[in-house]
Structure 1
């Protein structure tokens, strides 16, 4: 079907004047008029119309509609807010605010008025949901129109100037198709749940989405593109936490570490109309895909698996697969063979569980019927090298890194020039000659080399891993949600046969390498936007209705009852209520060897209690201003106890060792002082009272140091056990010891100096007395001589 017809059929009547004028663009290209030469003025006119008129029109209209939908959603939330506050008051919310809200809401909304309000909101929500769906279709079809018009220009008039790179850059600046509707849908889902449960009279405890969250046995998948310059750094980040999973298909023994990463080949099925591709791009419910998959070269006789994957609600995939030998693939596709020999072997052995045999039969029948119903044939080959990271026997975290991705046409749609023999299921020129990447022997139009590596992280259960969060939010990777090798290959190699394209197509050829600062700022904006959406739901339904809503209050580690509380810097959704947030390690992460960076806020001691402007803690300087910034919005109540404070206390060993190390240092100082005092006392004579007094003073300081060290050790131990948010630092003990020693030394110096002065005076007086006696003797001698 021509794209012009597809575009006309996709028009949403209320917005019919806001779609791209595809016919006007075709007329500007003069598709069927080659008599008049194509000039630079024609290029400028077409480029101006496409990039600055049509694209700008679509972008501005979509942005305006998104803002209106957000405003309508906010208006619905405000209508429901009195009802939600009344319910929370019935739940027994503490405090004066709860009492006042209960009095102001519950009594003012009679049942009849409440039902009418809920029905009006439900009708409005239906209208918003419909327009959200139409807006997603609007963005997709106009995005496809831009790509189609650009490709038509490059095909007809692109000899001197190719427009595609410029349009890709413009689509990055003016994104008209990003599939970023999940935050708004999340808010709508929360209101739908509230309204329907209120109309049905169900208990409001069901508003919590915890039951619908991924269970412990389900995987959460993240997909990213990795620039080739960042490959080594990404690998080293992963290798610090997970080892490389060595794959050896030939034996169950441990493979050698020198073994190469396996090459994986997947052959995808579709027909000439590409319905499987279209359903996958448009996210049609129960969209299915079919592929053959094997490791290594086909000449090595690997195990081939035929796999059918069907997407269910909530992006949950249901997969059917079974192994098949190479010689049976073509008969199975043609409907001439239904795995009868394999089924007979399974039944003859008797060792197989009958349920497994029945499931095998069901998979064979379903896939065979699926191929026949859709008239499927191999159309695309994906060949890539995979490096897997996983702890053996532990599948909680699984990481795969696919490099050297080559997408190759495998179809026989053009009977005059088929890529594959119509009577065979794969290309013999590739498999018989054992071609490898980069497949230079394949014609250029039949091969596409994907420019980036593909990183996929699968996390089992609800546990968060800090290193994964850091990698996801870093400049090393670019998020690529819903990326599919099959969709990418068809979109690039079969552009003329398909009328819709994936939203990421214009970004593939762009440079995804980013500076760390730019990546950080982009991530902060994303978190801020997500926090605003969460806050909108949280302010209406409280913390119960939002699985990820956590009002961020400034406090380090303690419970709300213990003081102010701060989220870690890596928290996934920081609250927009606090502009500046001081984040420091929690009590479990304290290391006393840190140079003043591991202090915990919440306690004012020593000089800071006497002089409020003086502080020995970095946290205390901002504690007062941070506390003033905390203001819970209407409808949001104090959580009472943080989630981290629930369950058994788990403290890292370094926290205990830090406290014990401090205690041992205090005892060391006490022993040194006691040894000094004992030595001083023993060295002093019976008549040296000053030395004895100083020895007693040193003994008192040593005793104080001993008791202080033990007391501080027990006090900090109690704070750790209680997960307290109080400051761990205390300057009183060190000040007392320092001042005591300084006074003792000063007194010692003073007494010693006074003793020296006294001794000098005594010596001087004795010297004067001896001289007088000598003079007297001499005078007496002289007189005796005269008498003689």
Structure 2
């Protein structure tokens, strides 16, 4: 992918890098990674970035044959051992420089957080000890904290948050620089340095810190200051301990470059959900593991969840933390169609790990499982009855339908939510990994146990073979809302999901993705997002939304720093932002307070949720609206049939080839007519016009041979009724035309030749209409039942039928005119 900047409009956009196909007009520039690195420098770190250009220059040896007219490229000397030694020495210096700066800055941030904890604690203590409030609304105790103190604390915390963001960007850009310079070294010198240098990176892992512990602390402090010492209190487990709960969830992908920024943005509005505030945060606290069950012969649970069939279920065993936990949650998700009036439900109960095998094999019945719970009386009898009924249903399904463990999902979750308030709950799942749990290929992974025991939470699970693991490249953001009817989500949530930081992927499922990728020879029906895995989801910054340092205007967002591109052979990049100099000196305290007040006022009157580039492009008409986005309805496509016929020498080769060319000619004629008929689309705003000529092209995703891509199609009872109403309307028209034919035939006592011709034409039109509507109804009904994403409208059939009606009407007028002597036609006499 390339980032292209239009110098006239100052707009930037991503463009796929295709050798020989890139077309950049005048006034558009593309920069290489070195230039991107220089323009993304943060002031505080400007002397600590990798010296990428110098390292790249060191890879060039002296000329053996200087360039000349006869040999423009020339020839350089061979790379020697001495050159390699010097290069490695310089690379070690750069690695040590970056690692030292990252380590020192991380320690500084930790100390600043500790100092802020003390300051916030002192202010809260003074707040708790304040005297009674007077008539003016202020505390009578002079030592009570003032609004200015809280604003200063909020400013300090915002500055620390910006520091965390800048450090994460610094680390990300340098890590990319090291990867690129190693790749360039191996490519140019033919000396393989990548495996050796990977060991050096492990010794100085400046890129390994994920700052989760700092984010948890900052979230708690910022929530206290934001609420002026009165954070929302309640049971953090509220909503999680109940057996049945309903949520409306929308899912998004987040690129690794944007994960820390997304976390920092959310914590300024919602605190990190911590179940045990008295316990120090540990990495295992965020680990969640689930094992999904299915029948490896039929894959009915997989296909049911993929097709979103009414009543489709998913059964999984989930635990939190490491594998040594004793509590396992047995869960069942049930999908309900909207037209049923019910909501999809997730129900679960907990069980001890030592009882799992006996329960799943049927040796331990649910009555015995809940016997102790009934005696303890900690739960209501109604809740125990519901859990017991659920346990019976899941046990029956596992035993009778042959469900086995097939796929494990592991991720670290950061949840944001007000305690005891589930109206807005946001979770971000990072390091998402899917692992095989089956024994289908003869390898005993889980054996007779309900799960495999050779892995825990030691991501990235390097001990596993490549065929057993799928490491998902993005984080998954889930926005869960419980709003009343007609109520909109908070403004900041709408701004976040419309920003460049996330990519919407509705109905994404870890179970579906893991099963589809881990069993490529057994799964033939793929989810619709699979083709997107080869598309870079990063988008250019389209609005000033992100982490802002206190005292900076809204035009200098730190999110504009360094959206570096993925690795490519040409290594071409473009300047990402002019506001990357985010770390500047702060002014006086009074000026900072005024600027902070202004910033808060600007945030309060933030504009509405505008469409980003991707959404605006999606809203524009495509070049060919009749072409489906996914070409996967037929398992054997036309090209494969032609190739097979040609290879085997079949007589069907030439008919198939002629059919293909005829279809392509017809499509070309239709497109030509449409282009003459349709006006040129007018861009919605300058953002779209900056993308080039304003023409939007769509990529047509094609499924691998032998597989199909399932595209979600919304099917409700009214869809069937609509097809029936269309069918009945066509029949009604056909009956009217047939009645007209009968009337013409019986108008006179002795029908004339003209009456027979006119009646015959109308009769043929009525028969053609009946045949057409019956065929279309059958085709549409089958497609609706199978939920195929096909073109349900027909632009050809109705036109042909209308032409037949018109021809019958014209011929009847001519015949009647001849019968009345207005015109003379010998063939009618």
Structure having greater relative contact order (Cα 8 Å, sep ≥ 6): 2
**Global fold match (TM > 0.5):** no
TM-score bracket, normalised by the shorter chain, equals 0.3 to 0.5
TM score, norm. by length of structure 2: 0.36
Larger fraction in helix: 1
